[in-house]
Amino acid sequence: MDLKEKFMKRAIALAQRGKGFTAPNPSVGAVVVKNGEKIGEGWHKRYGSDHAEVVAIKDAIKNGYDVKDAELFVTLEPCNHYGKTPPCTEFILKHKIKKVYVGCKDPNPSVKGGGIDYLKSKGVYVESGILEEKCKELIEDFMIWIEQKRPYVYLKIASTLDGKIADRYGNSSWITNEKSRTWVHELRARVDAVLIGSNTLYKDNPKLTCRLKKREKKDPFATVVSQNLPSQKYSYLYLFKERPQKTIFFALSDPYKTFDFWVRKGVNVHLLKERSKNFLDLKEVLKVLYREYKCYYVLCEGGGKIANSLLEDKMVDELLLFFAPKIIGDEKAISNFRGRSDVSLKDCYTFKLKKVKTFDQDLCLVLKPER
Amino acid sequence: MDLKEKFMKRAIALAQRGKGFTAPNPSVGAVVVKNGEKIGEGWHKRYGSDHAEVVAIKDAIKNGYDVKDAELFVTLEPCNHYGKTPPCTEFILKHKIKKVYVGCKDPNPSVKGGGIDYLKSKGVYVESGILEEKCKELIEDFMIWIEQKRPYVYLKIASTLDGKIADRYGNSSWITNEKSRTWVHELRARVDAVLIGSNTLYKDNPKLTCRLKKREKKDPFATVVSQNLPSQKYSYLYLFKERPQKTIFFALSDPYKTFDFWVRKGVNVHLLKERSKNFLDLKEVLKVLYREYKCYYVLCEGGGKIANSLLEDKMVDELLLFFAPKIIGDEKAISNFRGRSDVSLKDCYTFKLKKVKTFDQDLCLVLKPER
């Protein structure tokens, strides 16, 4: 591998550690190199803290190195404007960095080209486009925030090898092993809301909390989408009883006239007008979560129908498909994706396979929709 | 990694190259080492040819080495009896090999312990059990032949991520990509028979030949299992028209009195009495293939029902599950495994995940049933 790519790869890996904690900033990683050797590294840890370039340069200095004439590898174009922190370009110039290698340019309209042009005008050698595709992937979430004003959506589904998420009696405990389920909690620790359909709410009575002890964020919101607002008899459900303030309920209609009842309980209730085919418009749901609840990442753990609706509305950014090494062999068991009809093979949703993870005997496929 | 394991791993990889071509002998690989360096290697290529130990020692000599006092790594205990070839033990002694490392002992009742004991009695240092589990896996097929008198069965199914092998209209062209399909032809080149159900026969009118140009074996038999012998109107099907002598048809009944008709056409017809639940007994089918047609490896490419029947009868030795990165989302599309009813999650067939292969964007899981 090319040396430049080697250092950029490291910067990408560092950036990924910040995923979920930097919003509304993008995840960025950086590496400082001198005489072909890495002397400092860092990543943007959370909104308001030092940007990756600054962390990496400070790290090199802390390690006892003189950063003058060093090279900087950074996954995203350095910022050139005053935000929560001063511009990184000034920090780079102040420390006399000689060469800057950039993964991809900043797509933010207020920045575009600015950082690179400014550094060049000050005599710094700048080369951009190192592992560009991978660096662009790092900011896919950021792009969705600024362009679509909605959260980045993970869709997680766990099934048997024949695509069943529960047996015909509705029992789904447990398809996957404990390691897989723990990893889902790691994911919950990085998202701002978990989204389910009402079938899952009534059947599983879930908590939707993150059961990891050590974590940086608070428990995510529990978001439920449903045709109808529930009747009062469902007050016993965990989300309504124990976490009403952290529960957001979206429905199309209120047949039991319970809107005020749930509001008094402390539940965040939204009656939507927007429909998409025969369900509520999930795009609108997501926009409300972004706008009113500052949700940057949403994890959908709903059943096969909401999964299909999200795909239908092109609202899935990353599909996490768990397979347990089991086969039930019963057509009437419940499918991981369902609800479409009269579709032929050419109407399939198609994906790019990004990664295959294993959790002991379980498999997790990380896929991105082809758009 | 331990040096012994390193050389044994190489011997295992060599053995795998012979897979499919050595029957009724097991696949065996061997490596010759001197002063910590590999000086020769080989594998048993086909029945009647030199055993792996002999190939490896000859290879070392051909490479210009003196094999006296060398070490031999072999996946299976060397034979000590006269078969198609003289005993390997004598060859080892003749060439003054000092140490022999064995993967697993020979389970063949006529050999058990013989080779190792004999070498030891002649002063050779022998250590057995190096990567024993993996070496045992190498001879799983061989064990099935000698213990169960039936072929080793691969079950191959290709589906979407929601476990569908065709859309609701029965169209299955094509779920997987060309690379995956080419690999299936490589598999066909190693098996002695391809097995399908009559649904697949009537719907797809398949050829079941191997389309690779370069290969060692002839085309596999096409084996069809069905409730009924077909009526004469199906004479147009490719298998009956173009490959009758290579077609073996198993059925439970002959409602159209066509047994003699198909025999005259040259088709190998078997009317079975043995039933298993409501289908013919696939175990009996396999035993006939082994006994009467010398089939050591069978590849089942049938639909979801025959797949389930094979699992039910515990006749699957290796499951090859292809997933294309697509979702159809229609519950009425045809499932990869179907036919069971009233089963709950605890009744799942369970597997061990042995390997994950990728063919561009397609995935192939190699699984073995837990027994």
Which whole number is the average pLDDT over A132-136?
Answer: 95
CB contacts under 8 A, A 278-337 vs B, are: 308, 311, 321, 323, 325-333, 335-337
Number of helices (H), then strands (E), in chain B: 12, 19
The H or E element spanning position A148 is helix A140-148
What pLDDT is attached to residue A217? 77
What pLDDT is attached to residue A213? 82
User: How many angstroms away from the CA of B182 is the closest CA of chain A?
Assistant: 20
Those residues whose C-beta lies under 8 Å from the C-beta of residue B259, and which sit 6 or more positions away, are B229, B269, B271
Verify cis geometry, omega within 30 degrees of 0, for the bond prior to B24.
yes
Set of chain B residues whose Cβ sits within 8 Å of the Cβ of A161: 163, 321, 336-337, 351, 365, 367
Set of chain B residues whose Cβ sits within 8 Å of the Cβ of A365: 161, 323, 363
What pLDDT is attached to residue B128? 95
What pLDDT is attached to residue A84? 74
pLDDT band at B1 (very low <50, low <70, confident <90, very high): low
pLDDT digit string (tens) for A203-238? 889 999 998 887 777 899 999 999 999 999 999 999
pLDDT digit string (tens) for A32-86? 999 999 999 999 999 889 999 999 999 999 999 999 999 999 999 998 887 777 8
Set of chain A residues whose Cβ sits within 8 Å of the Cβ of B349: 326-329
- Give CA–CA dist A75/A107, Å, rounded: 13
What pLDDT is attached to residue B278? 65
The H or E element spanning position B132 is helix B132-138
Known catalytic residues of A are 53
User: pTM for the complete prediction?
Assistant: 0.87
Q: Chain A within 8 Å of B27 (Cβ-Cβ)?
A: no
- Give CA–CA dist B116/A85, Å, rounded: 74
pLDDT digit string (tens) for B303-312? 878 888 899 8
CA dihedral B330, A308, A155, A357 (to 10 degrees): 10
CB contacts under 8 A, B 110-169 vs A, are: 159-164, 166-169
pLDDT digit string (tens) for B168-209? 998 888 899 999 999 999 999 989 999 999 989 998 899 999
What pLDDT is attached to residue A278? 65
Known catalytic residues of B are 53
What pLDDT is attached to residue B276? 75
User: How many angstroms away from the CA of B358 is the closest CA of chain A?
Assistant: 10
Does B335 sit within 8 Å of A326, measured CB to CB?
Answer: no
- Give CA–CA dist B52/B43, Å, rounded: 4
pLDDT digit string (tens) for B76-121? 999 888 777 788 999 999 999 999 999 999 887 665 558 999 999 9
What pLDDT is attached to residue A339? 86
pLDDT band at A110 (very low <50, low <70, confident <90, very high): low
* Whole-number Cα distances in Å, A32 to A1, A6, A17, A62, A106: 18, 12, 18, 12, 20
What does pLDDT average to over chain B? 92
Would you say A311 and A349 are in contact if contact means Cβ atoms under 8 Å apart? yes
pLDDT band at A112 (very low <50, low <70, confident <90, very high): low
Set of chain A residues whose Cβ sits within 8 Å of the Cβ of B306: none
User: How many angstroms away from the CA of B325 is the closest CA of chain A?
Assistant: 5
Set of chain A residues whose Cβ sits within 8 Å of the Cβ of B367: 161, 325
What pLDDT is attached to residue A1? 67
Res. B151: pLDDT tops 70: yes
Which whole number is the average pLDDT over A307-334?
Answer: 93
**Cβ–Cβ pairs < 8 A, chains A and B:** 160
Does A347 sit within 8 Å of B338, measured CB to CB?
Answer: no
Does A329 sit within 8 Å of B340, measured CB to CB?
Answer: yes
| Nearest CB to A329 within list B159, B332, B337 | B337
What pLDDT is attached to residue A73? 98
Convert B40-73 to b/e letters by CB count within 10 Å (16 or more is b): bbbbbbeeeebbbbbbbbbbbeeeebebeebbbb
Does B335 sit within 8 Å of A163, measured CB to CB?
Answer: yes
What pLDDT is attached to residue B235? 97
Would you say B8 and B75 are in contact if contact means Cβ atoms under 8 Å apart? yes
What pLDDT is attached to residue B256? 97
Which whole number is the average pLDDT over A228-256?
Answer: 97
- Give CA–CA dist A42/A52, Å, rounded: 5
Which whole number is the average pLDDT over A8-28?
Answer: 94
Strand partners, A100: A72, A126
Res. B222: pLDDT tops 80: yes
| Nearest CB to B308 within list A329, A339, A353 | A329
pLDDT digit string (tens) for A294-305? 999 999 997 878
CB contacts under 8 A, A 331-370 vs B, are: 331-333, 335-345, 347-353, 356, 358, 361, 363, 365, 367
Which whole number is the average pLDDT over B291-303?
Answer: 94
Those residues whose C-beta lies under 8 Å from the C-beta of residue B194, and which sit 6 or more positions away, are B188, B208, B220, B221, B222, B223, B298, B299, B300, B301
Q: What is the ipTM, given to two decimal places?
A: 0.86
**Which chain A residue lies closest to B323 (C-alpha atoms)?**
A161
DSSP labels, B292-322: HH---EEEE---HHHHHHHHHTT--SEEEEE
* Whole-number Cα distances in Å, B102 to A37, B81, B99: 46, 17, 10
- Give CA–CA dist A320/A296, Å, rounded: 18
pLDDT band at A273 (very low <50, low <70, confident <90, very high): confident
Q: What is the DSSP letter of B368?
A: E
* Whole-number Cα distances in Å, B69 to A288, B4, B33, B115: 77, 16, 10, 19
Residue whose entry in the numeric block shows the structure tokens 């697949």? B200
Helix axes B304-312, B282-293, angle to 10 degrees: 90
pLDDT digit string (tens) for B307-366? 888 998 899 999 999 999 999 999 899 999 988 888 999 999 999 999 999 999 999 999
